[in-house]
Amino acid sequence: MAWNLDIKGLIHPFSALAQGFKQPHTLSYPVEQRAEVTGYRGFHVNTISDCVGCGNCQDICMNEAIDMVEPLSPEAMNPKNASGLVPRIDYGRCCWCGLCVDVCGPDSLRLEGDCVYVSPDADSFLYMPKDK
C-alpha cells in the first residue's frame, strides 16, 4: 500500500493557531481611536460666526438632506446672517458628496475627520454641525 502523506493538510491547523499571536486588524473602539486622515469627508462643521444663512447649501443638496433652522447658540451668529438660520444635516439622507461645502461662499461649512456616531434614536441623526 502506497502512503500519500498530505503535509499541507497536517500543517494547516498550526498555521491557523499562529494567527492568534498576530496583531488584530481591527481597533478596540472606543479605547483605541482611528487616526485622522487628511481630507476625509466626515461630519459637517459650520463656523456660525461666518455663516450668512444664504441657504446655498440647502439648494444644492440633491438628497434634500439640509434644512435651515435656528442655531443652537444665536449669540454666536454672524450679524450679517439675514435669514437668522443655519443648516442642519439629515444623516439618514446625506451621501457626503461635499457639494454643500463647495457652494458655501464664506467657507463656513466644512467636512471634518470625525465620522463615528451611534444612536438608537433615529431623530438624533438630524445633526447640527458643530460650531468650529
Q: Under the rule (CB under 6 A), what is the footprint of ligand SF4?
A: 46, 51-57, 60-61, 63, 65-66, 87, 89, 94-100, 103-106, 108-109
**Grid coordinates belonging to 99:** 457639494
For ligand SF4, which is the closer residue by CB, 26 or 86? 86
Do the strands 109-111 and 86-90 form a parallel or antiparallel pair, or are they unpaired?
unpaired
For ligand SF4, which is the closer residue by CB, 33 or 103? 103
Q: How far is the CB of 21 from ligand SF4 (least distance, A)?
A: 43
Residue whose C-alpha cell is 434644512: 67
φ, ψ dihedrals at 73, nearest 5°: -125, 85
For ligand SF4, which is the closer residue by CB, 56 or 131? 56
For residues 81 and 47, is the Cβ–Cβ distance under 8 A? no
Rg (CA), the chain: 24
Q: How far is the CB of 79 from ligand SF4 (least distance, A)?
A: 14
Q: How far is the CB of 22 from ligand SF4 (least distance, A)?
A: 38
